[in-house]
């Protein structure tokens, strides 16, 4: 382990992380409806710190109520949220782990507006509804853009006041900042639309505004798409930003003072390539049932998921882009090109679980670190397992994406019953562990005991 690149510290300008394994962002509905935090959230985050990751990059934390994806997400929209996030930071810090908050705004990509947002369309760069999910929206006015830039800056200030180690801008996966960056979505005619420079203005103004609030001695990173790939489901839709454009945006973000770039892909979420792997249409029925009942117009998709005989049509369309991409290290080739063009450290997301793959992408210069979401949902102690010299845990994540499609309606956790030897009750018990009281994280034993269930 001493000589293993995976367990070497990574130095950013304002932050040092003890190893190269980051917990990637994983949203779940753990918190109170009004955006205040819960003990389940603290338990959830602390358990990854205890599992050995060097840093946790939080789930989607809305900087404004109107930019929330789903109710029951802890927000950072007001100073009254600072004490809760301080508690999260303290719990994570107990395990020599850093905590980076993902400052986020959904824009039009809002799975369930909740009662507070029900009567208002979502804000976006455009008036056009999203064609995959059917989310309705309206183009932001210049005043709304200015106010939202300030919302991000205030979110960063609050994160710093809460004693967290840094912030990440969610500028990927089709959320608000991507809706400005992407040529497939942004159809504005003003100074925030048209050329790539204009489309990047919103992101760059947010970075500047954050620096004004928190100074230059605080960690700030951006999660960016190297490539958009457009809607990807429908061949007639625009593809969005190319790799060259993705690289240019990363260079501008670096010039504007970000300390790191978290490289991803895909201008909608989910996308066939992100998170890579399976996409179980049977369980998508639940997700869409929840969305439709909350006023989202995803009727086409819902019809395809609802009727079994139509599901293969969706699967065939969804699978087209996946053919040319492996699940493991899915975006690494694009990430490598971004890395060649910037000098700040790079974190890459998508399909990392196997120590051999992680070691290779770091030593061969694809990235400086990897972030992991689903492999850690399956085995929160994966870093300890790899540090012990294993290439994989005993019962690895299958990348089936059942956790993802359940997350809109059900508690977040691993829903691949095969990992529990078909024992549904054992699977649900594991998912529900996080709702136990504060002692959860201390009492929490290694996740690799899941292997015991699998016999
Ligand atoms: C259930 C779930 C929730 C996610 N939530 C977020 C999120 O809030 N913000 C974000 O940037 N990415 C989110 N992602 C994407 C992950 O952070 C990650 O980039 C992606 O899943 C690929 O990594 P993996 O192969 O290690 O899962 C989510 C993924 C999953 C499966
Ligand atoms: S449900 Fe479990 S096995 Fe499937 S992708 Fe999620 S964490 Fe991995």
Question: Where in the chain are the domains?
Answer: 5-453
Q: How confident is the model at residue 293 (pLDDT cuts 50, 70, 90)?
A: low
Residue 450, CA distances (Å) to 21, 44, 150, 375 in order:
21, 17, 45, 13
Top-tier CATH class for 5-453: alpha beta
Name which of 390, 125, 367 is nearest 263 in CA terms: 367
Residue nearest to atom 2 of ligand 2 (CA): 414
Instruction: List the one residue out of 229, 425, 223, 230 whose CA is nearest residue 338.
Output: 223
C-alpha dihedral, 4 to 20 to 332 to 319, nearest 10°? 110
With a 6 A CB cut-off, is 225 part of the ligand 1 pocket?
A: no
pLDDT in tens, 396-422: 999 999 999 899 889 999 999 999 999
- pLDDT the model gives residue 441: 53
What is the residue with the minimal CA distance to atom 17 of ligand 1?
A: 25
**Nearest-ligand number for the alpha carbon of 276:** 1
Contact criterion met (CB below 8 Å) for 47 and 431: no
Hey, which residues does 92 pair with through a beta bridge? none
Task: Check pLDDT > 70 for residue 450.
Answer: no
27 lines ligand 1 (CB under 6 A): yes
Ligand 1 atom with least separation from CA of 223: 11
Q: What is the pLDDT of residues 223-253, one digit of tens each?
A: 999 999 877 667 777 889 999 999 999 999 9
Who's near 442: CB < 8 A, 6+ residues apart? none
Cβ proximity of 207 and 155 under 8 Å: no
Polymer length in residues for the chain: 455
Look at residue 248 in the predicted model and tell me its pLDDT.
98
Could you tell me the two tokens for 300? 């086409």
- The pLDDT mean for the chain works out to 90
Helix, strand, or coil (residue 321): helix
- The model's pLDDT over 367-393, given as tens digits with 9 standing for 90+, comes to 999 999 999 999 999 999 999 999 999
Q: Encoding tokens for residue 235?
A: 């061949």
pLDDT tens-digit map of 80-122: 999 999 999 999 999 999 999 999 999 999 888 888 998 888 9
Instruction: Compute the average pLDDT of residues 155-174.
Output: 97
Rounded to an integer, what distance in angstroms lies between the CA atom of residue 220 and that of residue 214? 10
Whether residue 415 lies in the annotated active site: no
Q: Which pair of structure tokens corresponds to residue 112?
A: 């369930």
Least confident segment among 121-135, 139-153, 281-295: 281-295
Return the pLDDT at 452: 31
Instruction: Point out the catalytic residue in the list 175, 192, 302, 352.
Output: 175
Confidence of residue 297 (pLDDT cuts 50, 70, 90): low
From residue 414, alpha-carbon distances to 105, 277, 376, 396, 408 in Å are: 26, 14, 10, 11, 14
Q: Is 179 in the pocket of ligand 1 (CB under 6 A)?
A: no
Give tens-digit pLDDT for 214-224. 999 999 999 99
Q: What are phi and psi of 447, to 5 degrees?
A: -70, -20
Say if residues 130 and 117 touch (Cβ distance below 8 Å).
Answer: no
Ligand 2 proximal residues by C-beta, below 6 Å = 374, 377-378, 397-403, 414-416, 419
Q: Tell me what pLDDT residue 131 has.
A: 75
Alpha carbon of 410 to those of 337, 402, 405, 413, 450: distances in Å? 38, 11, 9, 9, 20
pLDDT beyond 60 at 453: no
CB-ligand 1 contact for 375 (6 Å cutoff): yes
Q: Is residue 132 within 8 Å of residue 124, measured between CB atoms?
A: no
Q: Is 88 left (phi over 0), alpha (psi -120 to 50) or beta?
A: alpha
CA 54–ligand 1 middle distance (angstroms) = 17
């Amino acid at each position: 382990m001493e000589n293993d690149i995976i367990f070497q510290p990574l130095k950013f300008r304002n932050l040092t992380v003890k190893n190269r394994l980051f917990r990637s962002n994983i949203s779940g509905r753990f918190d109170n409806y009004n955006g205040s935090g819960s003990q389940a959230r603290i338990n959830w985050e602390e358990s990854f710190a205890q599992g050995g990751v060097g840093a946790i990059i939080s789930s989607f934390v809305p900087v404004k109520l109107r930019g929330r994806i789903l109710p029951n997400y802890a927000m950072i929209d007001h100073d009254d949220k600072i004490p809760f996030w301080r508690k999260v930071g303290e719990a994570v810090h107990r395990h020599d782990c850093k905590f980076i908050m993902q400052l986020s705004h959904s824009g039009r990509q809002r799975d369930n507006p909740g009662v507070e947002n029900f009567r208002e369309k979502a804000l976006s760069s455009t008036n056009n509804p999203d064609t995959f999910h059917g989310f309705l929206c309206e183009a932001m006015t210049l005043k709304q853009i200015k106010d939202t830039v300030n919302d991000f800056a205030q979110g960063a200030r609050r994160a710093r006041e809460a004693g967290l180690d840094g912030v990440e801008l969610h500028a990927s996966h089709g959320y608000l900042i991507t809706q400005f960056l992407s040529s497939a979505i942004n159809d504005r005619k003003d100074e925030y639309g048209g050329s790539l420079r204009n489309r990047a203005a919103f992101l760059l103004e947010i970075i500047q505004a954050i620096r004004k609030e928190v100074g230059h001695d605080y960690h700030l990173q951006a999660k960016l798409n190297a490539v958009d790939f457009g809607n990807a489901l429908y061949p007639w839709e625009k593809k969005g930003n190319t790799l060259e454009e993705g690289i240019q945006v990363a260079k501008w973000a670096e010039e504007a003072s970000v300390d790191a770039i978290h490289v991803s892909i895909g201008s909608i979420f989910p996308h066939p390539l992100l998170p890579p792997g399976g996409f179980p249409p049977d369980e998508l029925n639940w997700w869409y049932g929840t969305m439709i009942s909350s006023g989202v117009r995803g009727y086409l998709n819902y019809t395809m998921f609802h009727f079994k005989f139509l599901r293969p049509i969706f699967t065939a369309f969804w699978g087209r882009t996946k053919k040319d991409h492996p699940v493991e290290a899915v975006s690494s080739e694009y990430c490598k090109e971004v890395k060649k063009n910037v000098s700040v450290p790079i974190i890459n997301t998508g399909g990392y679980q196997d120590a051999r793959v992680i070691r290779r992408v770091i030593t061969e210069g694809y990235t400086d670190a990897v972030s992991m979401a689903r492999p850690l949902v399956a085995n929160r102690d994966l870093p300890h397992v790899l540090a012990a010299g294993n290439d994989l845990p005993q019962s690895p994540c299958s990348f089936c994406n059942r956790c993802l499609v359940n997350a809109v309606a059900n508690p977040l956790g691993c829903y691949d019953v095969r990992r529990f030897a078909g024992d549904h009750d054992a699977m649900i018990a594991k998912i529900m562990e996080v709702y136990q009281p504060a002692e959860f994280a201390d009492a929490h034993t290694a996740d690799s005991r899941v292997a015991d269930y699998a016999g």
